[in-house]
Amino acid sequence: MSLFKRLIDAIGGTASQAFANVMESVRTVFAGDPEMRRKVAFSVAMIALSAKMAKADGIVSQEEVTAFQEIFAIPDEEAANVARLYNLAKQDVAGFDVYAERIARLCGSGTANCAMLEDILDGLFHIAKADGVVHQKELDFIALVADIFGFDERNFDRILARHVHPDGIDPFAVLGVSPDLPFAEIRKKYRKLAAESHPDALQARGVPEEFLAIANDRMAALNAAYRAIEKQQEPA
């Protein structure tokens, strides 16, 4: 039985009334398999918030659909179940805040800036900018989700700087550091972010293999920012 079919069967008719029940059921349906629970939790989170973001924006472009499919290389046997979950999320009367709060609890750490929650924000930005621009309603949506996830303004701005930079990329913003911070401290922050963004770390917290291409983009942004700052520190 496929993963999403197993999940839908386990929650029965409740899914037709509230998609939030789907996310709550992840805890119990996959209680005996923590690794699978992490993977399903991430996938359900992305399906739920992607659907809600599409509804908030009012327009679902083909580029956004393609971007969603890049995150989930959905096998043919799963396509109908994933589509059903996506449509349930769009139709559910519950607001996105209900989804985001339950997703934050699925993270399991109970702490702000949980790594999996940052992965989800990256996924939302990936989909939002697929048509060439992050529209204001999409940006507002992601910012509100980040707030519910527990990200403070400084950490959200750090994530935002990787995706939206109309005035050019600010390497200090990408690393979330002040330009007057000693270089040794900047290096320390860079190494911490790089370790959290390593593909092995993402896989360990349940991120699907398909998402690793997006993780590679994050690493490229971090590396480029660090090199730019390092070059500025070189003596003339």
> Residue 89: which domain range?
3-233
Query: Is the overall model pTM greater than 0.85, yes or no?
Result: no
For helices 136-149 and 34-57, angle between their N-to-C axes, nearest 10 degrees: 140
* pLDDT tens series, the chain, 236 aa: 466 666 666 655 554 456 666 766 777 777 777 777 777 777 777 888 888 887 777 766 677 777 777 776 666 777 777 777 777 777 765 678 877 887 787 665 444 447 788 888 988 998 888 878 888 989 999 999 999 998 999 899 999 999 998 888 999 999 999 999 999 999 999 999 999 888 778 777 767 676 777 788 889 999 999 999 999 886 54
Closest CA to 213 of 67, 84, 78: 67
Closest CA to 73 of 217, 212, 216: 212
Instruction: Say which residues have a Cβ less than 8 Å from residue 107's Cβ, sequence separation at least 6.
Output: 41, 114, 116, 117
**How far apart are the C-alpha atoms of 217 and 210, rounded to whole Å?**
13
**How far apart are the C-alpha atoms of 145 and 168, rounded to whole Å?**
25
Q: How many helices (H) and strands (E) does the chain have?
A: 13, 0
**How far apart are the C-alpha atoms of 89 and 19, rounded to whole Å?**
5
Closest CA to 135 of 218, 46, 49, 58: 58
Work out the angle at residue 162's Cα, subtended by the Cα atoms of residues 160 and 164, and round it to the nearest 5 degrees. 60
Specify the number of domains making up the chain: 1
